[in-house]
Structure 1
Amino acid sequence: MTTQLSVTTGQHSDKGRKPVNQDFHGLMIPDNHQLRSKGIAVAIADGISSSNVSQIASESAVAGFLSDYYSTPDSWSVKQSAQRVLRASNAWLHAQTRQSQYRYDQDRGYVCTFSVLILKSATAHLFHVGDARIYRMQGNALEQLTTDHRVWLSRDDSCLNRAMGLSQQLDIDYLTVPVWPGDTFVLVTDGVYEHLMARDMASIIQDSGDDLDAAARQLIASALAAGSDDNLSAQIVRIDSVPARKSNEEVIRDAHQLPFAPELVPGQRLDGYRILRPIHASSRSHVYLAVDEASNRQIALKVPAMELQQDPQALAQFSTEHWVAQRLDSPHVVPSFAPERQHSCLYLATEYVPGISLKQWLLDNPGPDLETVRQLAEQIARGLRAFHRLEMVHQDLKPENILIDRQGTVVLIDFGATRIAGLQELREHDEPSWPRGAALFSAPETFLGEPAGWQADQFSLAVIIYQLLTGQLPYGTRIPGLRNRSQLRRLNYQPARLHRDDLPGWVDLALARALHPEPHKRYPALSEFLFDLRQPGHNWQQQHRPPLIERHPVGFWQGLSALLLLALMLSFAYRP
């Protein structure tokens, strides 16, 4: 089975009958792990003829994208990575125009069209702004996949209504299509397609066989012969092979070609670590306290339980945890220890956090005051943001996976259930049909087979806060029994004040929103949730605004006296 994406490419650009070529194109085929994690990027840009600097915009847009896209985190999805880079590039181009002599005439500024094709695994991702075109050729048929962002003012006069650098805001067309061996993608600027019919382009490409550079040159020569007076660029990418979408077992095999760790005992040495004692043991893993003999630092060494050798799902979670730990950087997330060290077997080494779990802390501190709970929640949220910035969802947030060290610092552990957008694009199925975390703390949508967004972590955090304050769960044990949306809609939030009457009503309102069964009705940001836990939100203030006599008693009585005086004067004025 082919495990690597491979393509044949051809490209050519010509200034045509113009003095300067304002088109620019580029192609990047990584020769390392990024071929799998980021894919192949093909980009084309077309400057606008009214600008004398748009060739700078075209070159900057293409070169900047091909550099910056491959610098984004591996955990990000293609969509997240590309859109972040494109919006940053657009902002830079727009700023260049605003700071130049063309700030009052954008059509002469740093503006260009931009289209990019990214091939990752067995999927093509298209991002498009302007009127360059991307076609797909299957057999002899050429199909246009992009829409021209051009407004025709008359039969002969038109203008772009969307382009890079045209405004501060950038609206990007995004499309994904599956790819198969033999598919051919064609990227061309308007100097080509306005003078060649789709069937003519397809015929030229077909007649050129495997020499796609020759096909690109012939496309441009034919367009010039047909009367094109614009710059001309063409890129052709033929799919030779695609990797099959990988199952969890294949992802594991690629990530860790390592044997299981032996059963460890105190005093044993493993890759420069000396085992001190067991810390925790379960059916999934064994955790040991060890010391790194090179630095004399204590670490936690986690190995999968031997029972997992025949459990692909559990092994997938363990491998995911190792991958995630190497990429997170937050004082509220346990860091990987010596990630560059060569492993002789399958294990995870992290910094050792001396302390207790939040579950034990709650047993030791029943009924904590509201301010203490707020401080714990804010630290947990900072740890979650480290995941969310990398387009990861923890998915297994529960008191057992939260440690509190001796200084009171909260640290998140156990990343085996983490959903990683960038890796999810490589897997056979979009999502498992069951929640990957603890059932009583998981968001309700995960029980309906829906993908977990970061709002699922918000829900889990709110359940923990509710439990810290009340010792109860907001929906009891009903959530794990959800099987359809009708049952989800019947979920009723039980106010925390029923269990603890010293809580402000507006705290209950904040919890109710974060714990809403529908993810889109929760808070749009964790910061807003934490803000509303500290002071009444706008809705609460509107609904519970005290009467005027309480807010301004002096003004109330002065106003009332004035009204009485006016009424008395009117009564005298109309007395017969």
Structure 2
Amino acid sequence: MNSGYVLNGRYKILSRLGEGGMADVYLAQDLILDRKVAVKLLRLDFRDNPKAKRRFQNEALAVTQLNNPHIVGVYDVDEVDGMQYIVMEWVNGADLKDYIKHHSPIPYATVVDIMEQICSAVGEAHRNGIIHRDLKPQNILINAEGYVKITDFGISRAASEDTMTQTRSIIGSIHYLSPEQIKGLMATKRSDIYSLGIILYELLTGKVPFDGETAVSIAIKHSQEAIPFVRDLDDQIPQPLENVVLKATAKNPDDRYFTVDELADDLKTSLSLNRLTEPRFQPSFDRDDINDQTRVMPFTPLKASQLNESKLAAQRIADDSQTKQETTAQNEKSPKQPTKKRRHHRRRWIALAVALLVLLIAGALLVTANGHTKVPQITGLTQSDAKQSLIDAHLKVGKIRYKNSYAVDKIV
């Protein structure tokens, strides 16, 4: 939209203030009330997009429900010639991202003051059942006097809705998104608290805790890595102030502040001398073993080189998995083999014992026979003499049988 154009016969465009993903923002002059305003105009390529139009309307509806000095006010919402627009309060200043860039390091008292103003606005939204879902320095305006106002409720939603990121894409800025949003779970008020913790981290250190070449790599860090300690970058930061960062950005939402007001109350006393000896906050998870089964939602298509690396990594994982399965199968079979061997050895020992016992008994019988008697020679004797000879040798005479023989002479 060119400078000098009068929108709907009332708002004269002065200059472009900036552009976003689906809308452009212009500085305009309200010809009726004679004041400068910011006009947010839905981009031409989104005017036939139902989702974009719904987001645009949702922002206007959300902000008109809120009444807080730290939330950019909405003056008018309308559509003309197919152009949807929102007329908002104009803040003569810069966004918080630029402020951090040009003023870092920021005094701790100023950091606390800025965060309290932000918490005031977010707390108002939460009390009205609205979750922002895209809190970041680019959506926070600050003027020369340090007065803060939050804008861009385009992807906010009512807390009673359950239609958050159940789609296969993530809405929001990856550097400030909570782990549960990255995993595609529903955003809650504590998701906004996580984003506030990241903003506080950036105010204190001048940079975001996690960065990377791709959105996916940053998302994985948010899900799996603990937030770095701000005192490692600046040991002058009071421990209670670092604790606010750690508690607000805990991986488990249950470890975070229950409400934004609770976070603000903790901030108010974070520079108090009475809390200087406060120990470092420890969340319920181990920083060295964050068991978060991450399901990273798709962001941008992988390049060819990244795709090849992914294929190689997948192949290595598959090979490792097959090796583990084979090892497991062998381990499952191995206990049965010793059992068979033990049974075989037991049977062999029993057989040897029985054989040894038989040999001992036989040997005992032989020793007994050889030690007490000697079979006499009775061939050629009469029956009575032969019988007496056997008795004398301590032998028993069995049943006498008769048999004819031509080799033995008749005894007279």
Are 1:365 and 2:99 matched, yes or no?
Answer: no
Indicate the SS of the match to 2:47: helix
Q: Which residue identity is paired with 2:98?
A: Q
- SS of residue matched to 2:25: strand
Equivalence map 1:145-544=2 (5 Å) = 263-338=1-76, 345-421=83-159, 424=161, 431-477=166-212, 480-481=215-216, 490-535=224-269, 543=279
Provide TM-score, normalisation by structure 2.
0.60
Name the structure with the higher strand share: 1
* Letter of the 1:464 counterpart: I
CA distance in 2, matches of 1:430, 1:450: 6
Partners of 1:276 and 1:336 in 2: how far apart? 19
Return the alpha-carbon distance in structure 2 between the equivalents of residues 483 and 370 of structure 1: 27
Deviations 1:174-213 (A, max 9, x none): xxxxxxxxxxxxxxxxxxxxxxxxxxxxxxxxxxxxxxxx
Ranges in structure 1 where 5+ consecutive residues have no aligned partner: 1-262, 545-576
What code does the residue aligned with 1:496 have?
A: V
CA distance in 1, matches of 2:91, 2:218: 39
Aligned 1:51-70 pairs, distance under 5 A: none
Q: Which amino acid aligns with 2:33?
A: S
Shift of 1:432: 3.7
Structure 2 partner of 1:39: none
2:210, 2:29 → 1: CA distance? 43
Deviation at 1:302, TM superposition (A): 0.8
371 and 441 in structure 1: CA distance in 2 versus 1, 3 angstrom threshold:
same
Indicate the SS of the match to 2:37.
Answer: strand
1:304·1:346 contact (CA, 8 Å) conserved in 2? yes
Q: Report if the CA contact (8 A) 1:470-1:499 is conserved.
A: yes
RMSD: 3.1
Distance 1:478 1:381, change over 3 A: farther
- The structure-2 alpha-carbon separation of the partners of 1:434 and 1:518, relative to structure 1 and needing over 3 Å to count, comes to farther
Distance 1:515 1:483 in 2: 15
The structure that is helix-richer by fraction is 2
State the SS of the aligned residue for 1:347.
strand
User: Retained in 1: the 8 A contact 2:19–2:25?
Assistant: yes
CA separation of 1:337 and 1:542: change in aligned 2, threshold 3 A:
closer
Q: C-alpha displacement at 1:543, in angstroms? A: 4.8
Matches for 1:4-19 after TM superposition, within 5 Å? none
Q: Take 2:10 and 2:181, find their aligned partners in 1: how far apart are those partners?
A: 41
The within-5 A match list for 1:40-79 is none
Does the aligned pair in 2 maintain the 1:444–1:480 contact within 8 Å? no
Cα distance in 2, alignment partners of residues 437 and 271 from structure 1? 35
Contact preservation (8 Å) 1:265, 1:275: yes
* TM-superposed deviation, 1:435: 3.2
The residue type paired with residue 366 of structure 1 is S
Which residue type is aligned with residue 199 of structure 2? I
Closer/same/farther in 2, CA of residues 456 and 471 from structure 1, 3 Å limit:
same
Question: Contact 1:434 / 1:447 at 8 angstroms: preserved in 2?
Answer: no
Partner SS state of residue 472, structure 1: coil
Larger Rg, first or second structure (1 or 2): 2
Q: What is the CA deviation profile of residues 277-322 of structure 1, one whole-angstrom value per residue up to 9, with x for unaligned ones?
A: 2222345211111122221121111111112235443333212112
State the SS of the aligned residue for 1:348: strand
Q: Percent identity?
A: 26
C-alpha distance 463-478 of structure 1, shift in aligned 2 (>3 A): farther
Distance 1:346 1:437, change over 3 A: same
Larger CA deviation: 313-322 vs 351-360: 313-322
Tell me, in whole angstroms, the C-alpha distance in 1 between the residues paired with 2:46 and 2:89.
24
Which consecutive unaligned segments of at least 5 residues does structure 2 have? 281-412
Measure how far apart 1:343 and its partner are.
5.6
Q: Secondary structure at the match of 2:24?
A: strand
Query: What TM-score results when the alignment is normalised by the length of structure 1?
Result: 0.44
Relative to structure 1, the CA distance from residue 469 to residue 309 in structure 2 (aligned partners, 3 Å threshold; closer, same or farther) is same
Query: Following TM superposition, by how much is the alpha carbon of 1:540 offset from its aligned partner in structure 2, in angstroms?
Result: 8.4
Partner of 1:80: none
